[in-house]
Amino acid sequence: MRFISSQFGGASFSCLTLFVLLLLHFCHIVSIVGQKSDGALTVVENPDGGERVGGAEEEVTVDDDDDDDDDEGDLEVVQPTEQWQTLKPSHAVPAGSRVRLNLQTGEREVRLGDEQLKYWTQEHREKEETQSSFSPDELKRAMKKIKEDLNPASKDTQRQDSVESKYRPLEELKRDMAQLDLLVETDVQIMRRLLDQFNSSNSTTEQKMSILLELEYLVHQVDNAQSLCSMGGLQFILEGLNSSDFRLQESSAFVLGSALASNPVVQVKAVESGALQTLLTTLATAQPLRVKKKVLFAVASLLRHFPYAQRHFLSHGGLQVLSDLFREDRGGILRKRIVTMLYDMISEKELISQVGLDSVLDAAHQERVRQYSKVSLQGELFEKGWCSLVPQLLESTEHDYREKALRALLAMAPVCLDQYRSNGSLLDSLLSLRDQYQEMVQSEITLGEENGYFAEIVQLIDALHVKMK
């Protein structure tokens, strides 16, 4: 009897459970459909709906009164459109949506935010990545925080996870509005904040260095580097170069070099701000090799394709500073970089004059030729003794260093040839290098590689040898 009764009770319980489950399942489907279709599902829950501002088809009211309580983990997301829609207290909206209180009805309404509107009307042309100024780390942190706040205990299905990481309930959104504003800072705002922090008298050297590092990351974008100059950032960087703390010197030179790289606007502003003199002074006086490397990088970036700066570099004794640096440098890394820089300067000038031979001479080109003609680099190189300095780099054991030396020797040949010819040890070292590289070319060929790197070096040696005959 008891057995039967309990069995019967069990059966009826299962039936009820099944019914409830089916009901829940149905509600669940409804809510999923509601989330996925933007406004396609319009459930008008009471007959007075017509009184609401905005008209019936512009409102999406997701049915929620019944399953709201048992489904506390299931967020209901309203996809905003260009029109205002009424919000229920438990509704979540995507971050960036505009929410307002309708004073006539006392209800909150949502529509796409201004940024989103722009985005939508541009028909998703822009990549989402570039629209957002979240850094990946900030985004991760923000997402993590949102998830933790929304879902303290349960780990739900993937679908729910992804919904909850994309959308935030309204209350949460309002509470963290200030934080959100901070997260969507534009690059310009970030740089403004960094400069203010840098300028504050109580920031430590470590803080300044980390600020400079952040700036260095930002100025790789051409626009950012130019904005940094307009905000007066250049002045801070030049003061940093002047600093007595070599770590600040190093970081400042790094930012400056990156901002200058392939950025003519910044190059001009830097020269106008006296960067050339500051750089040369720092290069001449800085002690640790690390600082010298970064300052040299900034000098090279400043001079690249900028004949005006090159001319002033020469007239301010730049080659003298470089030759002192070259002589001191035992490791060879600075030597290589200096020789590479000189080679670049010679060859860009060569290139300009060659282009002129077989193309239409427009005004801009003529102006460039004129400016380069004032850069008397070759003559200065000869006078400052570079015809005997550069051959020293051939003594390095690094293939890369030797290659750079050979290229520079060839480029300087027009003015240095007599000195090369009278230098017996240069000829000896060329011939011995040639033997060495010929052997390596043979092993390159047995490995199936023709015209490899070593073959290229042999060609450079041969070319120089021919000139010296």
Site for ligand NAG, rule CB under 6 A: 195, 199-200, 202, 232, 238-239, 242, 278, 388, 391-392, 394, 419, 423, 425-426, 429
CA dihedral (327, 329, 330, 336) positive or negative = negative
**Among residues 97 and 378, whose Cβ is nearest to ligand NAG?**
378
User: What residues form DSSP beta bridges with 168?
Assistant: 93
Residue 427 CB, nearest approach to ligand NAG (Å): 8
Residue 424 CB, nearest approach to ligand NAG (Å): 8
CA dihedral (38, 41, 45, 48) positive or negative = positive
**Among residues 112 and 194, whose Cβ is nearest to ligand NAG?**
194
Residue 269 CB, nearest approach to ligand NAG (Å): 14
**Among residues 146 and 409, whose Cβ is nearest to ligand NAG?**
409
Residue 425 CB, nearest approach to ligand NAG (Å): 4
**Among residues 77 and 393, whose Cβ is nearest to ligand NAG?**
393
Residue 203 CB, nearest approach to ligand NAG (Å): 6
**Among residues 92 and 416, whose Cβ is nearest to ligand NAG?**
416
CA dist 432 and 100 (Å) reads 82
**Among residues 221 and 242, whose Cβ is nearest to ligand NAG?**
242
> Three-state SS across the chain?
CHHHHHHHHHHHHHHHHHHHHHHHHHHHHHHHHHHHCCCCCCCCCCHHHHHCCCCHHHCCCCCCCCCCCCCCCCCEECCCCCCCEEECCCEEEECCCEEEEECCCCEEEEECCHHHHHHHHCCCCCCHHHHCCCCHHHHHHHHHHHHHHHCCCCCCCHHHHHHHHHEEEHHHHHHCHHHHHHHCCCHHHHHHHHHHHHHCCCCCHHHHHHHHHHHHHHCCCHHHHHHHHHCCHHHHHHHHHHCCCHHHHHHHHHHHHHHHCCCHHHHHHHHHCCHHHHHHHHHHHCCCHHHHHHHHHHHHHHHCCCHHHHHHHHHCCHHHHHHHHHHHCCCCHHHHHHHHHHHHHHHHHHHHHHHHHHCCCCHHHHHHHHHHHCCCHHHHHHHCCHHHHHHHHHHCCCHHHHHHHHHHHHHHHHHHHHHHHHCHHHHHHHHHHHHHHHHHHHHHHHCCCCCCHHHHHHHHHHHHHHHHC
Residue 61 CB, nearest approach to ligand NAG (Å): 47
The residue sitting closest to ligand NAG, measured at its beta carbon, is 388
Residue 45 CB, nearest approach to ligand NAG (Å): 51
Residue 90 CB, nearest approach to ligand NAG (Å): 39
Residue 102 CB, nearest approach to ligand NAG (Å): 40
**Among residues 121 and 242, whose Cβ is nearest to ligand NAG?**
242
**Among residues 369 and 458, whose Cβ is nearest to ligand NAG?**
458
**Among residues 339 and 394, whose Cβ is nearest to ligand NAG?**
394
Contact (Cβ atoms closer than 8 angstroms) between residue 255 and residue 214:
no
**Among residues 125 and 469, whose Cβ is nearest to ligand NAG?**
469
Residue 377 CB, nearest approach to ligand NAG (Å): 19
**Among residues 99 and 413, whose Cβ is nearest to ligand NAG?**
413
Residue 281 CB, nearest approach to ligand NAG (Å): 7
Which amino acid, residue 407?
A: R
Q: Which of 464, 377, 353 is nearest to 419 (CA)?
A: 464
The token pair at 39 is: 């406004």
